[in-house]
C-alpha cells in the first residue's frame, strides 16, 4: 500500500509515492541498466562500417579517374548513399546508449535512495516520474524512428543510384528516372537526419534535467530524515 504526496522546500514541490518497501527500477531503467553498453557498441560498429565504406569509395574514385566503367560508377554512387545512412544510424545507437545510461543513473538513484531510507527505519519516499522524464522518453523514441527511417531511405536511394548507373554507356548517360529519385531522396533525407539528431540531443537535455530533479529530491529527503532524527532525539 502506498500514498502520493509532495516534498516541499523553498516553495518547490516534488511529487512522490510513499511506501513501506524500497521501489525497484522501472521498465525503462531496467532496460537502461542492461542495454546502454550493447547500444553504444553497436553504434560504434556502425560508425566504423561507414568509415570503411568511405575508404572503399575513395579507392573507387581513384579507379574512376583512371577508367570509367558502369560497374565502378554504380558502386561509387551506391556507396555514396550508404555512407550517411550507416553513419547516422551509428549516431542513433550511440545516442541511444547515452539515453539508456541516463535511465540507468536514474535507476541507481531510485533504488539507492530507497535503500538509504529503509536503513534509516523510515517510510520510503520515491519521486514520481516528472514531466521532463516523459519528454525525454518520447523524444528519444521519435528521434530513433526518424533516424531508422532515414537509414531505410538511404538504402532505397542506394538501389536507385545503382540502377541509374549500372547500364550506363558513359559518364553522361545514366538512367534519368532512377538518378532523379536517388538524388531527391538523398537531398531531403539530409534534413531528416539532422532533425533526428537534434531531437535526440534535446531529449538528452531533458534526461539530464531529470537527473538534477532526482538529485534534488534525494538531497531534500536526506535533510528530512535528519530533521526527523533530531525531532525524535
Q: What's the confidence (pLDDT) of residue 40?
A: 96
Strand partners, 9: 12
Of the CA atoms within 13 Å of residue 75, those in its CB half-sphere come to 17
Q: What's the confidence (pLDDT) of residue 136?
A: 96
Edge-first strand order for the sheet with 124-127 is 3-9, 12-19, 124-127
Task: Give which of 152, 146, 154 is closest to 202, Cα–Cα.
Answer: 146
Residue 46, by phi and psi: left (phi above 0), alpha (psi -120 to 50) or beta? alpha
Q: What's the confidence (pLDDT) of residue 11?
A: 45
CA 73 from chain centre, in angstroms, equals 35
8 Å CB contact between 147 and 196: yes
Q: What's the confidence (pLDDT) of residue 140?
A: 95
**Does residue 112 sit in helix, strand or coil?**
helix
pLDDT tens profile 69-119: 888 888 999 999 999 999 999 999 999 999 999 999 999 999 988 888 888
Q: What's the confidence (pLDDT) of residue 12?
A: 52
Judged against a pLDDT cut of 90, whether residue 120 lies above it is answered with no
- Work out the percent of the chain whose per-residue pLDDT is above 90: 52
Amino acid at each position: 500500500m502506498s500514498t502520493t504526496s509532495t516534498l516541499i522546500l523553498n516553495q518547490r514541490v516534488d511529487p512522490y509515492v510513499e511506501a513501506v518497501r524500497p521501489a525497484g527500477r522501472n521498465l525503462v531503467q531496467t532496460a537502461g541498466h542492461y542495454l546502454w553498453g550493447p547500444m553504444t557498441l553497436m553504434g560504434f560498429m556502425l560508425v566504423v562500417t561507414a568509415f570503411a565504406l568511405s575508404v572503399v569509395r575513395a579507392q573507387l574514385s581513384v579507379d574512376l579517374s583512371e577508367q570509367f566503367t558502369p560497374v565502378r560508377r554504380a558502386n561509387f554512387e551506391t556507396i555514396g548513399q550508404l555512407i550517411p545512412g550507416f553513419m547516422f544510424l551509428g549516431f542513433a545507437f550511440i545516442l541511444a546508449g547515452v539515453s539508456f545510461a541516463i535511465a540507468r543513473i536514474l535507476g541507481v538513484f531510485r533504488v539507492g535512495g530507497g535503500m538509504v531510507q529503509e536503513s534509516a527505519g523510515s517510510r520510503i519516499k520515491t519521486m514520481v516520474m516528472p514531466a521532463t522524464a516523459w519528454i525525454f522518453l518520447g523524444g528519444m523514441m521519435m528521434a530513433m524512428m526518424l533516424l531508422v527511417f532515414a537509414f531505410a531511405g538511404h538504402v532505397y536511394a542506394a538501389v536507385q543510384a545503382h540502377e541509374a548507373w549500372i547500364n550506363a554507356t558513359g559518364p553522361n548517360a545514366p538512367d534519368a528516372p532512377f538518378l532523379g529519385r536517388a538524388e531527391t531522396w538523398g537531398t531531403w533525407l539530409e534534413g531528416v537526419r539532422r532533425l533526428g539528431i537534434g531531437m535526440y540531443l534535446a531529449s538528452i537535455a531533458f534526461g539530464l534535467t531529470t537527473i538534477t530533479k532526482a538529485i534534488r529530491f534525494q538531497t531534500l529527503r536526506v535533510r528530512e530524515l535528519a530533521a526527523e532524527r533530531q525531532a525524535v532525539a
